[in-house]
């Protein structure tokens, strides 16, 4: 709340559309972002260990698979 109300420039998780961050795109995923009263100021990219990259990639795959299944039901 302080990030928005007091323009805190606080790093916190946010669900954002990835456009190349962490080598992923076309999916919304939770990553750290600097939040201000105007919204997301910038995305924060952390160096991840190999096991963390693997887990993140698996999470993104699950999100993309679910999205694809949902879109298929609309056809």
Q: Give, for all 75 residues of the chain, the pLDDT tens digit.
A: 566 666 678 899 999 999 999 999 999 999 999 988 888 999 998 899 999 999 999 999 999 999 999 999 987
**Distance (Å, whole) CA 42 – CA 51:** 25
Q: What is the pLDDT of residue 32?
A: 94
CATH of the domain at 43: 3.90.110.10
Structural domain for 48, as ranges:
2-73
Q: How many residues does the chain have?
A: 75
pTM over 0.85: no
Give the integer Cα–Cα distance in Å for 15 and 39. Answer: 12
Closest CA to 53 of 22, 29, 28, 31: 22
In this prediction, residue 6 carries a pLDDT of 65
pLDDT recorded at residue 55: 97
How many structural domains does the chain have? 1
- Give residue 36's pLDDT: 87
């Amino acid at each position: 709340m302080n990030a928005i109300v007091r323009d805190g420039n606080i790093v916190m998780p946010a669900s954002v559309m990835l456009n190349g961050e962490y080598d992923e795109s076309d999916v919304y995923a939770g990553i750290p972002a600097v939040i201000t009263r105007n919204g997301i100021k910038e995305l924060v990219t952390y160096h991840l260990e190999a096991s963390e990259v693997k887990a993140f990639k698996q999470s993104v795959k699950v999100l993309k698979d679910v999205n694809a299944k949902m879109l298929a039901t609309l056809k």
